[in-house]
Amino acid sequence: MQTKPFRIGTRGSNLALAQAYETRDRLMVAHGLPEEMFNIVVMSTMGDRVTDRALSEIGGKGLFTEEIEQQLLSGGLDFAVHSSKDMPTLLPDGLVLAAFLAREDIRDAFIGRDVEKLMDLPHGATVGSASLRRQALLRRLRPDLNVIIYRGQVETRLRKLAEGEADATLLAYAGLKRLGRPEVATELLDPESFPPAPAQGAICIECRRNDERVMALLDAVNDRRTFEAVTCERSFLGVLDGSCRTPIAGYAFSDGEAIRFSGTVLTPDGSLYHTVEIDGKASDAKALGEQAGQKIRTLAGPDFFASWLT
């Protein structure tokens, strides 16, 4: 019987903490455990400390997870809570994404300072975003815009917007909802024309693969449909070298039996893009994502990806 508190690793942003608290609370309910049985351990990551450069320039998504994963592997943590879209497609040996909480809204939120809608921005307006996907989609829809790199926690980005560093920015609506600030969004973008990042809106829980005790604990809060959908999306991402150097969008929906997936890959300037759609059995989620990735590679041709792989 567990007598010591479970140690939950998380980054220290308000959003990361909200996700960790949500996970803790769901586990408390699922297992009838008191709050004292969970100890949230806040960790600083390189991705949090370096905010003046694009992630693609300093090492990619792994910068948000490396220190936490080292503590998982050493036994300093029992499990860790992450935003699924921040996770590299390749995990360190011995670690696994054991559970996904039920997914939140997948859409991107447009936040305008003087206008409410993306298409109402004046010619040459400045939009800040740290995401290559969002930057490419913005340039596809509005090639006239001045798109700049714009990193930092949610509160930092909103402050920069209020201070006039940009005319607008984009954030995941799921994050705004988890922070209790959905009203900040001035427009919710249609995922048909502005598709989300793979795994957007999903909280994942990472642990040691061989820790059967923790795996059993986490299984009680795992949402199977989210697990299948995100597995498909991450599989697609993995085939396409899904790091922060690649503008890739993808969304899968599982009803528990069938799954359908739509994926898009773009050049950074948004001028060229390819889309793939695929469906099949939910139990084949991983294989379907891989098939979709291979279809995109065939459709786009090797030259399309050349600049990403050099």
Residues annotated catalytic, as ranges: 86
Q: Tell me the three state secondary structure of residue 236.
A: helix
* SS3 of residue 284 by DSSP: helix
| Cα(60)–Cα(54) distance, integer angstroms | 8
Say if residue 309 is exposed, middle or buried (CB neighbours under 10 Å; 0-12, 13-18, 19+).
exposed
Which residue from 180, 230, 228 is spatially nearest to 202, judged by alpha carbons?
A: 230
Interatomic CA distance for residues 52 and 140, integer angstroms: 25
In angstroms, the CA 213 to CA 236 distance is 30
Please tell me the distance from the alpha carbon of residue 163 to that of residue 209, in angstroms, as a whole number.
46
204: which strand partners? 82, 100
Could you report how far apart the first and last alpha carbons of the chain are, in Å?
Answer: 52
Of 108, 152, 163, 103, whose CA–CA distance to 130 is shortest? 152
Please, what is the Cα angle at 228 between 226 and 232, to 5 degrees?
A: 115
Cβ contacts of 120 within 8 Å, gap of 6 or more: 112
- Residues 200, 198: Cα–Cα separation, whole Å: 6
